[in-house]
Amino acid sequence: MIKKIVKAFCLSVALAGLLSACSSTQKVTNSARTATEQLLITEAAMRSLPKQRDLPFPIPRGATVKLDVTGVSGDKDVMKGIVGGWLGLNGYNVQDENASHRVNIIVNSLGTELSTTFFGLPPISASLIPIALPELAFYKSENQSGYARFHFDIFELPSGRFLASSSPFVAGTFYNAYTVLFLFTFNKTDLASPPQVGKFKDMLK
C-alpha cells in the first residue's frame, strides 16, 4: 500500500514537471504601466488630432497660447505635451507668459480596456502537497485597447471671454495577444512599433 502511494506521488511530481515544462511564465512589468499600455494611450491621443492644417480655429496663426488640462485621467501632462506639439506644428506659440488665448483641454476619457477569453486549466497550487501547476491554455486571448476622447474650450486673454468649443477628438488603438495549445503565441495590433519581449535588438536592425 505504501509503495503504491509513493509511486503515485512520484508520478504526480513527474507529470507536474512535464506540464510545467510545456508552459512559460512571464512577469509582465515592474513599472506602473507596461510599454504596450503606454503606447496604446499615447498613440490614441495622437491619432485623434487631425493632420490637416487648414482647420477652422478661432485663434490667428502665430498667436501665443496657454494650455490648461482638466479631466479625471492622471495622464494630464501627456495630453498637454501632445496637444502643445500639435499646436506648434500648426503655427502657434505655446507658453504661459504673454499669451493672447487660453486653451482648456477637457479630457473626457484617456485609458485602456482589457478583456480576456480563456479555455484551459487555470493555475493550481496545492496546500497539502507541495505541487503547483502553471496555467495551461488550450486557447487564450487578451484584447487590450486604448481610447482617447477630449475637446478644447478656447478663451481670449486677458479678458477671459469664451470664444468656442471644439468638436470632440476621438481615436482608439488595440493590441491583442493570443496563446494556442499552451506554447504557440502571436499578436495583432495597430501600434506602429509595439515592444516584443526579448527582441529589442531585432527591432533596432
Could you list the pLDDT tens digit for every one of the 205 residues in the chain? Answer: 555 544 544 444 444 444 444 444 445 556 678 888 999 999 999 999 988 766 678 888 889 999 999 988 788 889 999 999 999 998 899 998 899 999 999 999 999 998 888 887 777 776 666 667 677 777 888 899 999 999 999 999 999 999 999 999 999 999 998 988 877 888 899 888 888 765 544 444 4
Q: Are 107 and 147 in contact (CB under 8 A)?
A: no
Residues contacting 23, CB < 8 A, separation 6+: 134, 135, 136, 137, 182, 183
* Assigned C-alpha cell, 109: 476619457
* pTM over the 0.75 mark: no
Domains and CATH numbers, the chain: 34-204 (3.40.50)
Residue 57 pLDDT: 81
